[in-house]
Amino acid sequence: MYTLSWQPPYDWSWMLGFLAARAVEGVETVDASSYVRSLAIGEHRGLLTAVPDPQTHSLQIALSPGLQPVAAECLAKIERLFDLRCDPLRVSDALGDLGAARPGLRLPGAVDAFEQGVRAILGQLVSVAMAAKLTAKVARRYGETLEDAAGYVCFPGPETLAAADPVELKALGMPLKRGEALIHLAQATLNGALSVTPPSDIELGVKALQTFPGIGRWTANYFALRGWQAKDIFLPDDYLIKQRFPGMTPAQIRRYAERWKPWRSYALLHIWYTEGWQPSVDGEIAGAK
């Protein structure tokens, strides 16, 4: 058993609910008190279980024998997924009233940037539930069965999907172009065109992503938000964000969000998950004058 810690407050109910809604069957199992998933790191395969303990501000991690040799890498991945290094007081100070109702909100990351890229592409123009089901089909079709955990598969790596047939991917329930986009993403991961670690210049990294087939501005930014766990991403042309800022153009929304730098990713989450939130009256920024 391994232990990771975090600084309170931490809204575990929200975090586990967020991940549960997006859980990929066969790869992840998420309930109100735990997160379980398969992992493949190099030649090592196994199952990881994470259970938060709010009383001690710790996360208890259990690794199956296959992952013990790469325990440090497993813990680093979980630390990123759950945003355990976040200093909530710094974020709260920057967000002000926006973050007051949910000071324990954290930024959900990812255990693997390539996996998150696949999820982002498959999540285009479909519901969260449909995206999870389609991703599960890809994982079942191309993932490696986990021998010591019945019912689990490891998410397929770029080596596997780079060699996939786009027609076979289409048969799983996606447009042909989307299958081709997955293959290109896998090839870009292998040749280094896709950075699997956060680039020094996130903005340039997001622009580079938009040159990939099948990846537009929204998908590139969402990937940066989750895959790179970039702290200062905002999505002014997101459907729900535009609803929260009625009458404002994406450019006006972007200017309004400048007030939350360098924590705009957290501001985005708070706006998404605060029903009825409205921007404050600000004529110069909101374009009311």
140: domain CATH number? 1.10.340.30
Residue 205 lies in a domain: yes
Question: Are 90 and 146 members of one domain?
Answer: no
pLDDT for 148 equals: 83
Using a pLDDT cut of 90, give the percent of the chain over it.
Answer: 93
pLDDT digits (tens, 9 = 90+) for 108-125: 999 999 999 999 999 998
Q: Buried (b) or exposed (e) across 79-102, using 16+ Cβ within 10 A?
A: bbbbbbebebeebbebbeebbeeb
Q: Looking at 42, 69, 99, which one is the last position of a domain?
A: 99
Using a pLDDT cut of 70, give the percent of the chain over it.
Answer: 97
Domain count of the fold of the chain: 3
β-bridge mates for residue 63, sequence order: 48
Residue 67 lies in a domain: yes
Residue 106 lies in a domain: no
Q: What percent of the chain is helix, strand and coil (3-state, nearest 5)?
A: 50, 10, 40
Angle 130-205-7 from CA coordinates, rounded to 5°: 75
- DSSP category for residue 84: T
Question: Are 279 and 177 members of one domain?
Answer: no
pLDDT digits (tens, 9 = 90+) for 172-229: 999 999 999 999 999 999 999 999 999 999 999 999 999 999 999 999 999 999 999 9
Structure tokens at 156: 């397929």
Question: Are 79 and 117 members of one domain?
Answer: no
- Which of 261, 252, 260 shows the shortest CA–CA distance to 282? 252
pLDDT for 223 equals: 97
Region 53-57: mean pLDDT is 96
pLDDT for 196 equals: 94
Q: Looking at 199, 227, 255, which one is the last position of a domain?
A: 227
Q: Is the pLDDT of residue 286 over 50?
A: no
Identify the band that residue 280 occupies on the pLDDT scale cut at 50, 70 and 90.
Answer: confident
Average confidence score pLDDT of the chain: 95
Alpha-carbon separation of residue 196 from 3, 67, 112, 193 (angstroms) = 26, 21, 8, 9
Alpha-carbon separation of residue 156 from 1, 116, 202, 240 (angstroms) = 27, 12, 26, 31
CA 287, CA 250: separation in Å to the nearest integer? 11
Question: Are 160 and 216 members of one domain?
Answer: yes
94 SS3 class: helix
18: domain CATH number? 3.30.310.20
Top-confidence range, 66-70, 97-101, 149-153: 66-70
Question: Are 173 and 134 members of one domain?
Answer: yes
pLDDT for 137 equals: 98
Question: Are 91 and 135 members of one domain?
Answer: no
Question: Are 130 and 213 members of one domain?
Answer: yes
Q: Is the pLDDT of residue 283 over 50?
A: no
Question: Are 129 and 213 members of one domain?
Answer: yes
Q: Which residues are catalytic?
A: 238
* pTM assigned to the model: 0.94
Q: Which ranges of the chain would DSSP assign to H, the alpha helix?
A: 12-21, 71-81, 88-95, 113-122, 128-142, 158-162, 166-171, 176-191, 202-209, 217-227, 239-244, 250-257, 264-272, 283-286
Q: Is the pLDDT of residue 285 over 50?
A: no
Residue 92 lies in a domain: yes
Residue 233 lies in a domain: no
Question: Are 218 and 140 members of one domain?
Answer: yes
Question: Are 219 and 250 members of one domain?
Answer: no
Q: In terms of residue numbers, what domain contains 207? A: 113-227
Contacts 24+ apart (CB under 8 A), 10-14: 10/52, 10/54, 10/57, 10/88, 10/104, 10/106, 11/102, 11/104, 11/105, 11/106, 12/52, 12/54, 12/104, 14/102, 14/104, 14/105, 14/273
Residue 107 lies in a domain: no
Contact 22, 30 (CB under 8 A): no
Structure tokens at 251: 């450019």
Q: Is the pLDDT of residue 282 over 70?
A: no
275: domain CATH number? 1.10.1670.10
Distance of CA 154 to the CA centre of its chain: 18
Q: Looking at 75, 99, 123, which one is the last position of a domain?
A: 99
Question: Are 262 and 163 members of one domain?
Answer: no
Question: Are 202 and 272 members of one domain?
Answer: no
